[in-house]
Amino acid sequence: MTEEKKGLTGATILLNALQEEGVEIIFGYPGGVLLPLYDAMLDSPIRHVLGRHEQGVVFAADGYARVSGKVGVCLATSGPGATNLVTGITNAFSDSIPLVVLTGQVPTSSLGSDSFQEVDIIGITMPITKHSYLVKDPRELPRIVKEAFYLARTGRPGPVLIDLPKDVLAQENVEPFPNDMKLKGYKIFGRGNNSKIEEIVQALSKSQKPVLYAGGGVVTANAEGALRQFAEKANLPVVTTLMGIGSLPFGHPNLLGMVGMHGTVTANYTVDDCDLLIAVGVRFDDRVTSGLGHKFATKATVIHIDIDPVEISKVVKTHMRIVGDARKILEEVLEVLPEYPLPELSDWWGQVRKWQYDHPLSCDLDNLTPQMVIKCLGELAGGESVVVTDVGQHQMWVAQFYPTAHMRNYATSCGLGVMGYGLPASVGAQLARPMDKVFLVTGDGSLQMSIQELGTIAQNKLPIKIILLNNGVLGMVRQMQKMFYEGRYNQIQLEGNPDFVKVAEAYGIHGIHVNSIDQVRAAITEAIDHPGPVLLDFVISPDENVLPLVPPGKVITEMIVR
Catalytic machinery residues: 54, 116-117, 166, 476
CA angle 133-141-21, nearest 5°?
Answer: 100
Cα distance between residue 257 and residue 242, in whole Å: 10
- Name the maximum alpha-carbon separation found in the chain: 91
Spatial CA neighbour of 514 closest among 475, 540, 488, 533: 540
**What one-letter code names the amino acid at 71?**
V
Cα distance between residue 328 and residue 525, in whole Å: 41
Q: With residue 413 as reference, give the H or E element that holds it.
A: none
CA angle 516-518-522, nearest 5°?
Answer: 110
Alpha helices per DSSP H over 433-513:
444-447, 454-459, 475-484, 500-506
Cα distance between residue 203 and residue 279, in whole Å: 13
Spatial CA neighbour of 334 closest among 225, 449, 261, 468: 225
Q: Alpha carbon of 169 to those of 16, 143, 185: distances in Å? A: 13, 15, 29
For residues 410, 416, 417, 422, the Cα torsion angle rounded to the nearest 10 degrees is: -50
Map residue 60 onto helix, strand or coil. helix
